[in-house]
């Protein structure tokens, strides 16, 4: 058995310096209850004199280590990254031990599966919105809804502050009066801003209702205002812009659509396979090209439907779509028209909008005589769009 060396030196009452072969430490407190500070950490020491019973606990261990030593019972955060990885952390996004993560996965298996399925739906919705861009197309004769009445409640008037007897006795009446005046001034400003917002909303609402009503009667200025409102309100899945021009008799309209870029099309589909993560399937180049053709046709279909529904005086619609492509000869980016078609109201009314989800915009526009050219790989080739005179 080896010898151990230790020596205890009292520096001041209640503070002792401990010297041993393992190093130097300091004890603070009476012998029955003390705290030892040394290179191995800080410990709380407690003992009952004369019983031989004592208790020792390290109190400087980081909270993360103490949590790992016991069962974590606090709130957890479960989320799915864009890469499909499941993350389980504490409420502050700090990692948990592998044992706790395993326990959470076992206890929340069903909830985690539902979360993964929801994440997959969110990712896949991008492609679904692109392929279904034509589905919100209004049926002929239906008018868009005007904005709802202003519904934000007026600000509440603050409780009137008046100085009382105690305020006067403590010479703070003037302060109370100033505070009341400040509250009233802030309320007046907030009320004025609320009234201005309400009036602007109601004015715009009235103007839009007027534009819809008069455009149905053929007033060209109101037709333009109504169409601007409707087209600006379309929630396109990808960046899409529309320009238009009425014919001289205001019985026809030509629309040019700046279509999305092919590179913007979603290229993956997510699936919750039940293994605690999402798996992804990449769309092939051929599938991506067909998807792009679908969103281009669908965009022209949607705009045509909006015009025929909003403007009953329009008899013919010329709609053309173009994309931007690099010109290898000049090194510039040029607009290339890829689809152009004239559609009459009678042709449009022949579509069965009761089964809109069954209508294929590609087949529909091709049936109306769309000018389009696809190469063998289903990629758009440039065309010459139909002229304005085609509306005659």
Q: What pLDDT, on the 0 to 100 scale, is given for residue 112?
A: 85
Report residue 333: phi and psi, to 5°: -100, 125
The arithmetic mean of pLDDT across residues 208-230, rounded, is: 92
The residue that leads in pLDDT, 137 or 14, is 137
Which of 331, 340, 323 is CA-nearest to residue 262? Answer: 323
Do the domain assignments include residue 210? Answer: yes
DSSP 312-374: TT--EEEEEEEEEEE-TTTS-EEEEEEEEEEEEHHHHHTS-GGGGGG--HHHHHHHTT-EE-B
Do the domain assignments include residue 245? Answer: yes
The residue that leads in pLDDT, 77 or 342, is 342
Domain span at residue 12? 6-60
Distance, in Å, from the CA atom of 92 to the CA atom of 115, rounded to the nearest integer, reads 20
Do 210 and 156 fall into the same domain? yes
Q: Which of 9-13, 34-38, 322-326, 350-354 has the highest mean pLDDT?
A: 350-354
Do 171 and 54 fall into the same domain? no
Do the domain assignments include residue 257? Answer: yes
Distance, in Å, from the CA atom of 345 to the CA atom of 358, rounded to the nearest integer, reads 20
Do 182 and 248 fall into the same domain? no
Do 252 and 314 fall into the same domain? yes
Do 154 and 300 fall into the same domain? no
Residue 328 token pair: 């290898």
Residue 224 token pair: 């333009």
Distance, in Å, from the CA atom of 309 to the CA atom of 287, rounded to the nearest integer, reads 33
DSSP 207-262: HHHHHHHHHTTT-HHHHHHHHHHHHHT---SS--EEEEEE-TTSSEEEEEEEPPPG
Q: Which residues of 103-139 are buried (b: 16+ CB within 10 A; e: fewer)?
A: bbeeeeeeebeebbeebbeebeeebebbbebbeebbe
Do 361 and 254 fall into the same domain? yes
What is the tally of structural domains in the chain? 3
Query: In this structure, are residues 342 and 390 in contact, taking their beta carbons and an 8 Å threshold?
Result: yes
Question: Mean pLDDT over all residues of the chain?
Answer: 84
Do the domain assignments include residue 121? Answer: no
Which of 387, 347, 352 is CA-nearest to residue 368? Answer: 347
Helix (H, G, I), strand (E, B) or coil at 81: coil
Q: Which of 3-7, 64-68, 327-331 has the highest mean pLDDT?
A: 327-331
Of all residues in the chain, what percent carry a pLDDT higher than 70? Answer: 81
- Could you tell me which residues are beta bridge partners of residue 25? 18
Say whether pLDDT at 63 is over 50.
no
Q: What pLDDT, on the 0 to 100 scale, is given for residue 324?
A: 92
| Count of all residues that appear for the chain in the document | 392
Do 255 and 206 fall into the same domain? no
Residue 73 token pair: 């019972």
Which of 299, 297, 302, 293 is CA-nearest to residue 356? Answer: 302
> Per-residue pLDDT tens for 240-262?
999 999 999 999 999 999 999 99
Query: In this structure, are residues 54 and 47 in contact, taking their beta carbons and an 8 Å threshold?
Result: yes
Q: What pLDDT, on the 0 to 100 scale, is given for residue 71?
A: 65
Say whether pLDDT at 354 is over 70.
yes
Residue 1's pLDDT band, with cuts at 50, 70 and 90, is: very low
Residues 6+ positions from 376 with CB-CB distance below 8 Å: none
Do the domain assignments include residue 170? Answer: yes
Do 176 and 268 fall into the same domain? no
| E strand or H helix at 288 | helix 285-310
Do the domain assignments include residue 96? Answer: no
Q: Which of 14-23, 178-187, 266-275, 317-326 has the highest mean pLDDT?
A: 317-326
Do 279 and 185 fall into the same domain? no
Do 242 and 339 fall into the same domain? yes
Residue 322's pLDDT band, with cuts at 50, 70 and 90, is: very high
The arithmetic mean of pLDDT across residues 353-365, rounded, is: 96
* Least trusted range by pLDDT, from 71-80, 179-188, 355-364: 71-80
Say whether pLDDT at 44 is over 70.
no
41 dihedral zone (left: phi>0; alpha: psi -120 to 50; beta): left
Q: What pLDDT, on the 0 to 100 scale, is given for residue 91?
A: 85
Do 262 and 167 fall into the same domain? no
Do the domain assignments include residue 338? Answer: yes
Do 300 and 378 fall into the same domain? yes
* Direct distance between the N- and C-terminal alpha carbons of the chain, in angstroms, rounded to an integer: 113
Do the domain assignments include residue 250? Answer: yes
Of the candidates 215, 247, 268, which is a domain's last residue? 215
Q: In what order do the strands lie in the sheet with 33-38?
A: 6-12, 15-20, 23-28, 33-38, 41-47, 54-58
Distance, in Å, from the CA atom of 339 to the CA atom of 261, rounded to the nearest integer, reads 15
Residue tagged 């990254």 (tokens): 81
Q: What pLDDT, on the 0 to 100 scale, is given for residue 164?
A: 79
Residue 79 token pair: 């989320």
> Per-residue pLDDT tens for 272-314?
877 677 889 999 999 999 999 999 999 999 999 999 999 999 9
């Amino acid at each position: 058995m080896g010898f151990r060396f230790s020596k205890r030196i009292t520096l001041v009452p209640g503070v002792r310096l401990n010297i041993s072969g393992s190093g130097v430490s300091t004890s603070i407190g009476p012998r029955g209850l003390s705290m030892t500070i040394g290179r191995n950490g800080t410990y709380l020491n407690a003992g009952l004199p004369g019983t031989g019973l004592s208790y020792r606990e390290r109190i400087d261990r980081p909270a993360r280590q103490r949590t790992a030593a016991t069962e974590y019972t606090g709130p957890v955060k479960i989320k799915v990254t864009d890469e499909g990885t499941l993350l389980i952390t504490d409420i502050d996004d700090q990692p948990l031990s592998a044992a706790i993560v395993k326990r959470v996965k076992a206890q929340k298996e069903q909830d985690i599966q539902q979360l993964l399925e929801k994440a997959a739906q969110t990712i896949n919705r991008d492609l679904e919105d692109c392929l279904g861009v034509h589905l919100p197309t209004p049926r002929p004769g239906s008018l868009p809804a005007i904005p709802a009445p202003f519904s934000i409640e007026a600000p509440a008037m603050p409780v009137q502050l008046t100085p009382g007897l105690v305020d006067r006795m403590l010479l703070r009446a003037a302060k109370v009066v100033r505070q009341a005046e400040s509250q009233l001034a802030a309320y007046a400003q907030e009320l004025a801003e609320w009234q201005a917002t309400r009036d602007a909303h109601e004015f715009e609402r009235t103007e839009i209702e007027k534009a819809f009503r008069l455009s149905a009667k053929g007033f060209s200025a109101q037709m333009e205002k109504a169409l601007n409102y409707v087209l600006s309100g379309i929630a396109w899945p990808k960046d899409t812009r529309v320009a238009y021009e009425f014919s001289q008799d205001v019985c026809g309209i030509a629309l040019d659509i700046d279509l999305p870029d092919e590179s913007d099309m979603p290229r993956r589909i997510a699936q919750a396979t039940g293994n605690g993560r999402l798996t992804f399937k990449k769309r092939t180049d051929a599938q991506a090209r067909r998807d792009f053709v679908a969103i281009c046709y669908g965009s022209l279909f949607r705009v045509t439907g909006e015009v025929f529904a909003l403007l009953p005086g329009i008899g013919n619609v010329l709609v053309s779509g173009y994309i931007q492509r690099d010109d290898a000869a000049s090194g510039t980016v040029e607009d290339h028209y890829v689809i152009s078609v004239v559609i009459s109201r009678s042709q449009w009314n022949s579509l069965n909008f009761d089964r809109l989800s069954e209508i294929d915009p590609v087949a529909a526009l091709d049936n109306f005589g769309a000018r389009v050219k696809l190469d063998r790989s289903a990629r758009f080739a440039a065309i010459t769009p139909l002229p304005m005179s085609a509306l005659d």
